[in-house]
């Protein structure tokens, strides 16, 4: 882990040193997530967060209970998609 110091501008802005941006793969226009944890502030690339979430969703898709839920949803789709479904008329 590498550390360095930066100066906060009057507008609250900082510059991430070029060497750190390059090593982290951060380019101009990249979106970063700012995380506050007590007195610490951390930055993470938003694209990395998206990949982590995709990985979590992938694990969920392999879960047996989730697969059963999907099968139930498919079996009820005919009722849900029926435009003449009178069960919902009273609501």
Tell me the pLDDT of the chain (91 aa) as tens digits.
Answer: 888 999 999 999 999 999 999 999 999 998 888 888 889 998 888 887 666 666 666 665 566 676 666 666 666 666 666 666 666 566 5
What are the respective helix, strand and coil percentages of the chain, to the nearest 5?
A: 45, 15, 40
pTM over 0.75, yes/no: no
């Amino acid at each position: 882990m590498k550390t360095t110091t930066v100066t906060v501008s009057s507008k609250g802005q900082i510059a991430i040193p070029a060497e750190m941006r390059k090593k982290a793969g951060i380019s101009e226009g990249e979106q970063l997530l700012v995380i506050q944890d007590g007195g610490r502030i951390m930055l993470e690339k938003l694209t990395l967060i998206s990949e982590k979430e995709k990985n979590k969703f992938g694990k969920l898709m392999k879960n047996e209970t989730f697969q059963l839920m999907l099968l139930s949803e498919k079996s009820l789709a005919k009722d849900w998609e029926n435009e003449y479904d009178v069960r919902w008329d009273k609501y």
